[in-house]
Amino acid sequence: MKQIEIKQELDTIISCLRNMGKSASVGAIDDYLDGMLNKKTIQRRLKSLMDNGYVNCVGEKKFRTYRLADNSLSSSTTKPDNVANYAPEKQSSEFNHPIFSAKSLEALSYLDTPQFGRTKTSYNFDLLNDYIPNETTYMPAEARERMLSIGKRFDNALAAGTYAKQIAQRLLIDLSYNSSRLEGNTYTKLDTKQLIEQGMLAKDKVEEETVMIMNHKEAIQFIIESAEHITLSPFIIRNIHSLLSQDLLANVNACGAEREIEVFIGKSAYTPLNNPHQIKEYFSLLLLKAEKIIDPFEQSFFLLIQLSYLQAFEDVNKRTARLTCNIPFIKTNLCPLSFVDVPQEDYFKALLYFYETNKLLPAIELFEWAYMRSCEQYSVVKESLGEIDSYRIQFRVARKDAMGLAIRNGYKGDRIKSFLFEYCNENQIESPEKFVAMTSNDLECLHVGAIVGLGITEALFKKWSNE
């Protein structure tokens, strides 16, 4: 990462000298960059550029000025690879990026120009207005076929969320870890596993990182447990955001609420929509269109890219998009997208390029690669349902009926288990211990987003859960 940062700093100074078009002192460069780099860093990078022959200097000490050397670098967009060997060279035709095609790499070179040198853009309303579900497509048909071939888990139609529940513990760890890692969280995979499974906090980590992991766990559990009834409504997505952002935002009222303040994207020439009324309107429109998309891969990619682009919340937008884009996969029992091994730099480059140009090729390639990598982490064998899942399906109606009765009667604590045993006896439920354990756990995990089908109202559930 340090090598990448140095390269970016060198690029910034090169672009600055080119844009200034004349000799400039360290102080003048510092003023032009307006705090992007500190003065000592500017001095160190200028020395490196001088040592490698790409910058010339005139004068001594405080009167010294710098300008680009008279060579191809002054007009070329080729950028240095490192400090020790700064000579520009053409990319070998034999080089293959693990994610991006040569066409995408060429497109992404647009981002090599520092932020202040790129064209400023704002939210493009037409991107959403012109999208017609099931007519407009972002994901090519060939890519969707490839992803389906490796992501399909069952031949028969099964209850939504069946596969996600089978791999729930692993998915909680993988998706919590990788989504947090993409935000700069320094928890290791082992740290994450111990926190999720044992509640064991990693040493020498800031509290915010621990909260981020735990928030992911809650939000993923919410999606898995609600799979049979979850919809792409503003209510559901706001709740996912609330779970992901709880205890992380200075403004607690911003958790689960559409944004009412301006936000800016760091190191980007893109400025998101900043009219609160339009944010709510386009958030609803986005989800209405997403709900109509039939193909789960198109639906997932649409959610990932459009939610990230709209920035409907004060913060935690990309995390919300990454979890929301898994809803289509979880509902249809496809392998989920856990962002395994996705490089942080490539992920954000693909998004930034879309933000500023509205072109999708790098993001499409990254999405397909990420999905394939995620599928490889889980069994590719089409498994039959295990005993516990078969049991859940067999007694699903009875389980929901019993849960609804327990809530309507206000049963809590030990009274729930005694009631459930009575229920099993009256309704001749086989393996009553299994039924009681399963239903008791479901009641403990129950939330307002998963009460459909229980025959209770939201007000009744809130009264029961708060007693």
**Residue 68's domain is classified under what CATH number?**
1.10.10.10
Q: Which tokens in the block code for residue 421?
A: 């045993």
Which of 377, 396, 413 lies at the terminal end of a domain, its last residue?
Answer: 377
pLDDT, residue 237, reads 96
Mean per-residue pLDDT of the chain: 86
The pLDDT-based confidence of 151 (bands split at 50, 70, 90) is very high
Distance, in Å, from the CA atom of 290 to the CA atom of 133, rounded to the nearest integer, reads: 7
- For residue 36, pLDDT beyond 90: no
pLDDT, residue 379, reads 61
Identify whether 285 is part of a domain. Answer: yes
Span 393-402, mean pLDDT? 86
Residues 78 and 218 in one domain: no
Identify whether 98 is part of a domain. Answer: no
Q: Which tokens in the block code for residue 345?
A: 């730099």
The 10s digit of each residue's pLDDT in 210-247 is 999 999 999 999 999 999 999 999 999 999 999 999 99
Range of the domain at 30: 2-84
Identify whether 94 is part of a domain. Answer: no
Identify whether 95 is part of a domain. Answer: no
Residues 358 and 402 in one domain: no
Residues 457 and 405 in one domain: yes
pLDDT, residue 87, reads 35
Which of 67, 84, 101 lies at the terminal end of a domain, its last residue?
Answer: 84
The pLDDT-based confidence of 359 (bands split at 50, 70, 90) is very high
Distance, in Å, from the CA atom of 423 to the CA atom of 446, rounded to the nearest integer, reads: 19
Q: Residue 230: which of 454, 451, 455, 465 has the closest Cα?
A: 451
Residues 37 and 185 in one domain: no
Distance, in Å, from the CA atom of 355 to the CA atom of 99, rounded to the nearest integer, reads: 19
- For residue 82, pLDDT beyond 70: no
% of the chain with per-residue pLDDT over 70: 89
Q: Looking at the 3D structure of the chain, how many domains does it have?
A: 3
Which of 343, 377, 411 lies at the terminal end of a domain, its last residue?
Answer: 377
Residues 371 and 407 in one domain: no
Phi-psi label, residue 134: left if phi above 0, alpha if psi -120 to 50, beta otherwise: left
Residues 218 and 263 in one domain: yes
Residues 365 and 407 in one domain: no
Query: Is the pLDDT higher at 92 or at 314?
Result: 314
The 10s digit of each residue's pLDDT in 168-212 is 989 999 999 999 999 999 999 999 999 998 888 888 888 999 999
- For residue 155, pLDDT beyond 90: no
The number of CA neighbours under 13 Å toward the Cβ of 94 is 0
Residues 59 and 130 in one domain: no
Lowest average pLDDT, out of 13-27, 136-150, 325-339, 375-389, goes to 375-389
The number of CA neighbours under 13 Å toward the Cβ of 174 is 22
The pLDDT-based confidence of 51 (bands split at 50, 70, 90) is confident
* Backbone angles phi and psi of 58, in degrees to 5: -135, 140
User: Hey, is 279 helix, strand or coil?
Assistant: helix
Lowest average pLDDT, out of 58-67, 358-367, 409-418, goes to 58-67
The pLDDT-based confidence of 34 (bands split at 50, 70, 90) is low
Identify whether 438 is part of a domain. Answer: yes
Residues 367 and 428 in one domain: no
Identify whether 90 is part of a domain. Answer: no
The 10s digit of each residue's pLDDT in 276-287 is 999 999 999 999
CATH number of the domain encompassing residue 165 = 1.10.3290.10
Residues 302 and 416 in one domain: no
> How many of the other CB atoms lie within 10 Å of CB of 437?
13
* Helix spans in 358-394 (H): 361-377, 387-394
Identify whether 289 is part of a domain. Answer: yes
Distance, in Å, from the CA atom of 182 to the CA atom of 320, rounded to the nearest integer, reads: 13
Residue 351 vs residues 119, 285, 357, 361, 366: alpha-carbon distances, Å: 16, 21, 10, 11, 10
Residues 295 and 213 in one domain: yes
β pairing state of 65-68 and 55-58: antiparallel
Span 119-131, mean pLDDT? 96
- For residue 131, pLDDT beyond 80: yes
The pLDDT-based confidence of 70 (bands split at 50, 70, 90) is low
Residues 50 and 181 in one domain: no
